[in-house]
Amino acid sequence: MAISIEDIKKLRAMTGAGLADVKKALTEAEGDFDKAKELLRERGLAIAAKRSDRETSNGCVLVKKVNDFAAIIALKCETDFVANGADFIKLTSDILDAAIAAKAHTLDEVKTLKLGEADVQTAVTQRSGITGEKMELDGYNVLEGENIEVYDHMGKHTLCTMVQLNQNNEEAGHKVAMQVAAMKPIALDEASVPEEVKEEEYKVAVQKTKEEQIEKAVEVAVKKAGLNPNHFDSEDHIESNQGKGWI
């Protein structure tokens, strides 16, 4: 059965699959759109399953505010090539729009939302089958209420923040959101800092203090001996000065 270019374009628009995959599915389904869509879905699931153990170190992060509801979401993939693709960014944006429209509060809620003819999780799996890369939703957070500001760093969709102030000040909110992106804070307050982080920072501080104390003690000893401190500023310098008989 001959498959027209119009049918290929129509199914591609419906599924987002590549032209070659769409043509193959339509040919096997003998022009039956429903059967062709099912074939594409099954192949997408198969590809996604094969790549389930891959690492997703790239992706798209988007943030958006509508009235008094703001949300940030991350969709991860394997390569920056896919992450920067218009279709991948659009999928992330469509998911975020659906989440905000439904005022979803958890990632599990987001995954079950309708996106076209399927739910969000299925749409992600299907896109994975199209690109041949593992994809996964990897984060979703919301803020509700007044005085919320959102920020997409340099508009690159890789680092986004959202903040909420106790007063209405858009300029201050924007600056705070930018500062959050720059500083990468790990907690909102001291009580929220993980214990392992506190312990590690304490160890670093103790070691730094010991090194500073040793350095000061050496400086005092050198000064008392009437020696030039510049002769002891490095091991190489010390060895060289010993050879010259200065030490």
pLDDT in tens, 191-225: 888 888 888 988 999 899 988 888 888 778 777 87
pLDDT band at 27 (very low <50, low <70, confident <90, very high): confident
Between the ranges 6-20, 45-59, 121-135, 156-170, where is the mean pLDDT highest?
156-170
For the domain spanning 5-50, the CATH number is 1.10.8.10
Flag whether pLDDT at 146 surpasses 80: yes
Flag whether pLDDT at 159 surpasses 90: yes
Tell me what the pLDDT averaged over the chain comes to: 84
Q: What is the residue extent of each domain of the chain?
A: 5-50, 58-185, 195-243
> Which is higher by pLDDT, 46 or 26?
26
Task: State how far the alpha carbon of 53 is from the alpha carbons of 88, 130, 138, in Å.
Answer: 20, 18, 15
Flag whether pLDDT at 137 surpasses 80: yes
Rounded to 5 degrees, φ, ψ at 143 are -135, 140
Q: pLDDT tens-digit profile of 95-120?
A: 999 999 999 999 999 999 998 878 89
Mean pLDDT of 39-64: 76
pLDDT at 109: 95
Fold of 58-185: Tetrahydropterin Synthase; Chain A (3.30.479)
- What predicted TM-score, i.e. pTM, was given to this entire model? 0.65
* CA gap 120, 97 in Å, rounded: 11
* CA gap 178, 160 in Å, rounded: 9
Decide whether 5-50 matches 58-185 in CATH topology. no
* CA gap 16, 14 in Å, rounded: 6
Token pair of 47, please? 């590809």
Flag whether pLDDT at 59 surpasses 90: yes
pLDDT band at 169 (very low <50, low <70, confident <90, very high): very high
pLDDT at 97: 96
Which ranges in 16-164 belong to alpha helices (H)?
19-28, 33-50, 80-83, 86-102, 107-111, 120-131
